[in-house]
Amino acid sequence: MHKAATPSSPHRSRWKALLWPLLLAEIGFTLVCLGAGALIWQASDRRESENALARLQASHSVYARQLDARLTAQQQHLVMLARGSRRILQSMAENDSPSPNVAPVLPAVLSHDDAQQLLTRLVDDYDGMDALVTRLFILPVGMRDFSAPEPQDDIDSSLPPYQRERVSADAENVTWWTGTQAPPGRLVATRDVVWNEHYLARVGMEISLPRLKRLIGDETGNTGEHWLVDGAGNALMRDDASHVLPDAAGRYGMQWLEEGRRALIWDTLPGTGWRLVSRLSLPDDSAWQKALPWLSIGLILGNVLIFAGFVTVLYWRLQREEDAWRAALGRLVGWLPRTQEDAPDITDVSPATLNALLTRLEPQWLTRASSDAWDMPAWLNTLQLPALLTEGDAIVTLNSALARLLGERPEALRDIQLTEWLKPRLVDEQRRRVRVTDAAGGTREYRLECLAVRGEHSVWALIDQTEAGETLYRLRLARDQAREDARLKTGYLSHLRQELESSVNTLASLPEVDTHRQPSRCEALRRRLEDAMLLLDTLTEEKPASDTRQSDATPRLLIVDDGPVNTLLACSVLERQGCHVETATNGEEALALAERQAFDLVFMDIYMPTLDGLETSRRWRRLERRLARRHASVLVALTANVTQASRDAFLQAGMDDCLAKPYRPGDLVAMVRRWVGKDATPET
């Protein structure tokens, strides 16, 4: 048949013949590129990991030295407190024989009350010397305990029960009490006061472990996990520190962990002998990102070369196919009758040439019997619409839907002319509308449509117009009513604006005598009327005559507010003033807009989900500094809480001004003119 002679099959065979070599070449080249990329990535990853680990170790050593300096300074303060206590208690212990070792600023002999006053004053002077120290205390022999701050009766009625007797022969050392020996959440450092081998007292300080944790977190940037263990491996801040630190850990070291790109690093604090242990994650390496561009370039170039080779081979094969086609067409031309003078030109190898030849060789090809077409009666019965099949103008059969509608059998109208059957039922010949009476006696209007034509056979469908007409009528009625309501509302609002404008003009034309009597009331009334006019301009469909086209000098404003009513009001009022306004519903959208363009003024709502106005303003300022923009945006806070404390918080966050909610339209316009300029918005 003619279908087998179409050129689609040769083309498909040629593509199939070249497809497998092309796929194999592409797969092989891709595997080579991936292997090379993997090798490059491994080398780069190893180098990047070593560099990142060296940076982490250097940073950790800096953190350890800073923490050691902080603890060493506290020990020095404790030594100074012990020396002052020794001078006071030494002067009291000499009784009647003053010693030459007593400091000249103290009397030779102090009474019991004098010593207590001096000890109390000494503790108070050293109180608050460091934020980590929560309490200082002196435990003298034979006297009451001294501490700062004083213990609260409802919280802690006495100092912790530290031993008062001497525990070490070396009075110059500072003893640290940790674990069960110290109160929960505290580290305690003590130093004994000894004079002439006589134990006089014990001085000490309590350090808050939560504050120490926060200090370590702030120093390290709150990244990773951190522990502090003593020289014996006992935990000072976490109970599992002894399990995390290796058994053979030295003073300094590092160990890779099994969880992935993580490392355990520890450094010793020289002042206390403790070790700062941190579990840190290496930053994501960029080795693959560095290798990916080169790998992509190699893949693209290789694929281009492979495709060029494929096209070359295909072109060569197509030339051979074209030569074979010309030879076959020459033989077909030889079969044509000699009397034909309109033989096609076989030099043009195309499907049209082949079709012309086959048309002359198969004159009966286009005359096919109805049995060769698809089974139209079977397809007719699958339709849900009432339909019938005709041959020429004669009705062949009805489908089941039309048979049920008419109450007839499918073959009841066989051999009846379609025009004769439609003639008494035709309502509109131009639109092919007919009125059909169903089996129940009801009458409905249908439109006759031809769905398919195959030879002399045609399929006609009856489409119900009653429901479609009713639906269309209801839609049109609703549309007309909505238009009328909108027109009436716009007219009422326009009329109300004219009345308000007349009132404003009348108020402005009052005599100066009346205006000077009550200037504040007249000005307030005029501002309220102008705000009402702005609101009416926003609600009406008409635009005021003062609207102008936006230019490059038009101020660019951004409204960041999650309230749709406030956003719509502000956007409408400012756009009518000639400003270019954009909106955002949260802080993330506002920062994304700031990345792409600069704004002259930003109205920032304070209370928003996710990022609030303060945090969004801070990030906004950092973004401007990073982008090095010449002019910073003016940030105006929108809040219902306008106090001096809130204003200070807005200024610290980087804002320039604030506007109280609910605000009037005139306040928005005045704020824009104040910060952007008097000529920024046209006069209304």
What is the per-residue pLDDT for 349?
Answer: 59
pTM recorded for the entire structure: 0.40
State the Cα–Cα distance between residues 51 and 165, nearest whole angstrom: 53
443 backbone dihedrals φ, ψ, rounded to 5°: -120, 130
How far is C-alpha 222 from the geometric centre of its chain's CA atoms?
A: 23
Q: Which of helix, strand or coil describes residue 25?
A: helix
More confident residue, 232 or 345: 232
Sign of the alpha-carbon dihedral angle for 146, 150, 151, 152: positive
More confident residue, 551 or 148: 148
Last residue of a domain, one of 535, 556, 591: 535
Specify whether 375 is located in the same domain as 261. Answer: no
Specify whether 401 is located in the same domain as 429. Answer: yes
Expressed as residue numbers, the domain containing 525 is 470-535
Sign of the alpha-carbon dihedral angle for 104, 107, 108, 109: negative
Least confident of 27-36, 310-319, 547-556, 618-627: 547-556
Task: Please tell me what DSSP assigns to residue 576.
Answer: H
Q: Which residue has the tokens 């702030």?
A: 218
State the Cα–Cα distance between residues 598 and 587, nearest whole angstrom: 16
Task: Please tell me what DSSP assigns to residue 417.
Answer: B
Q: At a CB cut-off of 8 Å and minimum separation 6, what does 522 contact?
A: 507, 510, 514, 515
What CATH number did the domain enclosing 398 receive? Answer: 3.30.450.20
Polymer length in residues for the chain: 684
Q: Assign 352 a pLDDT band (cuts: 50, 70, 90).
A: low
Specify whether 552 is located in the same domain as 446. Answer: no
To the nearest 5 percent, what fractions of the chain are helix, strand and coil?
Answer: 50, 20, 35
What CATH number did the domain enclosing 553 receive? Answer: 3.40.50.2300
Specify whether 595 is located in the same domain as 517. Answer: no
More confident residue, 492 or 6: 492
> What do you get for the CA distance between the two ends of the chain, in Å?
81
Q: State pLDDT tens for residues 419-453.
A: 888 888 887 777 788 888 888 888 888 888 888 88
Task: Please tell me what DSSP assigns to residue 142.
Answer: T
What is the per-residue pLDDT for 518?
Answer: 53
Least confident of 400-409, 529-538, 611-620: 529-538
Specify whether 379 is located in the same domain as 445. Answer: yes
Residues 29 and 271: beta-carbon distance below 8 Å: no
- On whether residue 35 sits in a domain, the answer given is no
Q: At a CB cut-off of 8 Å and minimum separation 6, what does 261 contact?
A: 49, 281, 282, 285
Specify whether 424 is located in the same domain as 526. Answer: no
Specify whether 512 is located in the same domain as 578. Answer: no
- On whether residue 81 sits in a domain, the answer given is yes
Specify whether 263 is located in the same domain as 379. Answer: no
Q: State pLDDT tens for residues 90-120.
A: 888 765 445 555 444 455 567 788 888 888 8
448 backbone dihedrals φ, ψ, rounded to 5°: -90, 120
- On whether residue 555 sits in a domain, the answer given is yes
- On whether residue 317 sits in a domain, the answer given is no
Last residue of a domain, one of 482, 501, 535: 535
State the Cα–Cα distance between residues 636 and 655, nearest whole angstrom: 6
State the Cα–Cα distance between residues 510 and 477, nearest whole angstrom: 50
- On whether residue 485 sits in a domain, the answer given is yes
Beta bridge partners of 228: 276
What is the per-residue pLDDT for 651?
Answer: 92
State the Cα–Cα distance between residues 75 and 271, nearest whole angstrom: 9
Q: Assign 621 a pLDDT band (cuts: 50, 70, 90).
A: very high
Residue-averaged pLDDT of the chain? 76
Return the percentage of the chain with pLDDT > 90, whole number: 10
Task: Using only the alpha carbons of the chain, give its radius of gyration.
Answer: 48
395 backbone dihedrals φ, ψ, rounded to 5°: -75, 130
Specify whether 584 is located in the same domain as 670. Answer: yes
Specify whether 418 is located in the same domain as 477. Answer: no
| Domain count for the chain | 4
- On whether residue 191 sits in a domain, the answer given is yes
Specify whether 132 is located in the same domain as 252. Answer: yes
- On whether residue 137 sits in a domain, the answer given is yes
Return the percentage of the chain with pLDDT > 70, whole number: 70
- On whether residue 11 sits in a domain, the answer given is no
Q: Which of helix, strand or coil describes residue 377?
A: helix
Specify whether 478 is located in the same domain as 456. Answer: no
Q: Which of 45-59, 309-323, 390-404 is most confident? A: 390-404
State the Cα–Cα distance between residues 45 and 260, nearest whole angstrom: 13
How far is C-alpha 443 from the geometric centre of its chain's CA atoms?
A: 61
Last residue of a domain, one of 535, 563, 583: 535
What is the per-residue pLDDT for 5?
Answer: 41
